[in-house]
Amino acid sequence: MDFERATALKGEIIVPGDKSISHRAVMFGALSRGTTEITNFLNGADCLSTIDCFRRLGIDIETKKDCIKIYGKGLHGLKKPEQILETGNSGTTTRLLSGILSAQPFESVLNGDASIQTRPMKRIILPLSDMGANIISLRNNDCAPLRITGTHLKGIHYHSPVASAQVKSAILLAGLYADGETSVTEPILSRNHSEIMLRYFGADVISEDTTVTIHPNPNLTGQKVNVPGDISSAAYFIVAALIVSGSEILIQNVGINSTRDGILRVCKAMGADITLENISSKNGESTADLLIRSTAALHGTTIAGDLIPTLIDELPILAVLACFAEGTTVIKDAQELKVKESNRIDLVVKNLSAMGAKITATDDGMVIEGGHPLHGAVIETRQDHRIAMSFAIAALAADGITTIKNFECVNVSYPSFYEDLAKLMQR
């Protein structure tokens, strides 16, 4: 797909539902008694993989546009799947489901696409095995496909070496079935949607600093979940409005949970004109409308430390933003970028260099010298949705034509990305 320079972006959009929250609503609904009704569900390929897996595990799920009904069967209601559970491109489905399957009285096999088959699973295999699970990486490389033989689990206190909500959530979900309490301590607090939603469904979950503790065997009850708009999807339009001069846009109903709002903090630190309006709360998650105006005088910043987990998925688009800021932007402590849907340090640096940016890869991030104009190039996405969308936005403020390979991979998290962008483009 080809993209080129845009004139001012104007108008209002509503970005689709949050991916992390959509996954969790399906999973927790399936493990609850009664019906869970999810509105503003993200109909992206990743969340559809979660629905597909739970159907194979015997859960009835009705889908009508972005309204989903889950007929939960309680903690012990899943049945042995007849086929392999296909998780597609979705790390969240693969890792969180592994936690649930570790405690089931049957064997199951999880597999996903080529990217999932290279992503590290040792980070969940180790703690879940400590709890008693039997998980085999079938190619003996600590990646999927995984064969999980469920068993009776024991509670543990796990000190995670990585700040990862997928690792934390996998352990908490296994902890629902353990014989005592289960705790996870992270080096830095990662997104806390599991904790918030498990409580909302009736679980006993206590959070204290970077430690979360769950008590086993709760009576989870089906709930109504209204999914906030995904700040990770809003991020592309936030940056687009900042770098395309004369822009002014309103993005409605965006989730601004403080474990996810790093992009807002960094943009403001760079001098961006962003206002939050209409702040409210939905099932324990804060939301706001974001008013963004293009800002000429952006300046470089350092993105590091505790900020990283709050914006980990936004680092590719923040690297694009840094190209339009005067001075140097340093991204560090972000080695996790190497094990996302692609190696995002590698791909961001390669593609931004091809567009004329002054950018250098480091071991745990990148350094960007802003203020050098970008020009069109052919963009390698390796089917990574966030790379495809980040470079579609870079193209809007670059000379010439930018061709993005395999652009259809945006369907993983944002099937209507192109339509929403078109809405904001002035003709």
Residues in touch with ligand S3P (CB under 6 A): 20, 91-92, 164-166, 169, 190-191, 312-313, 336
Between 190 and 342, CB nearer to ligand S3P: 190
Sign of the alpha-carbon dihedral angle for 347, 350, 356, 358: positive
**Rounded to the nearest whole angstrom, what is the least distance from the CB of residue 312 to ligand S3P in the complex?**
5
SS3 44: coil
Between 380 and 384, CB nearer to ligand S3P: 384
The residue annotated as part of the active site, out of 313, 363, 364, 420, is 313
- Record the tokens describing residue 68, joined without a space: 């989903």
Phi, psi of 336 (to 5 degrees): -60, -25
Alpha-carbon distance 17 to 47, whole Å? 10
Strands 365-369 vs 134-137: parallel, antiparallel or unpaired: unpaired
Smallest CA-to-CA distance from 240 within 1, 8, 2 is with 8
**Rounded to the nearest whole angstrom, what is the least distance from the CB of residue 166 to ligand S3P in the complex?**
3
Q: Are the C-beta atoms of 232 and 286 separated by less than 8 Å?
A: no
Between 205 and 249, CB nearer to ligand S3P: 205
Sign of the alpha-carbon dihedral angle for 336, 340, 346, 347: negative
- Residue 204 annotated to the active site: no
Q: Are the C-beta atoms of 292 and 272 separated by less than 8 Å?
A: yes
Alpha-carbon distance 307 to 331, whole Å? 10
**Rounded to the nearest whole angstrom, what is the least distance from the CB of residue 409 to ligand S3P in the complex?**
14
Residue whose token pair is 């927790």: 28
Q: Are the C-beta atoms of 343 and 337 separated by less than 8 Å?
A: yes
**Rounded to the nearest whole angstrom, what is the least distance from the CB of residue 167 to ligand S3P in the complex?**
6
Between 289 and 313, CB nearer to ligand S3P: 313
Q: Are the C-beta atoms of 218 and 305 separated by less than 8 Å?
A: no
Smallest CA-to-CA distance from 236 within 263, 255, 210 is with 263
**Rounded to the nearest whole angstrom, what is the least distance from the CB of residue 169 to ligand S3P in the complex?**
6
**Rounded to the nearest whole angstrom, what is the least distance from the CB of residue 286 to ligand S3P in the complex?**
17
Residue whose token pair is 């395999």: 406
Between 103 and 189, CB nearer to ligand S3P: 189
- Dmax over CA atoms of the chain, in Å, equals 62
Q: What is residue 78's DSSP assignment?
A: -
Sign of the alpha-carbon dihedral angle for 332, 291, 287, 48: negative
Catalytically annotated residues: 313
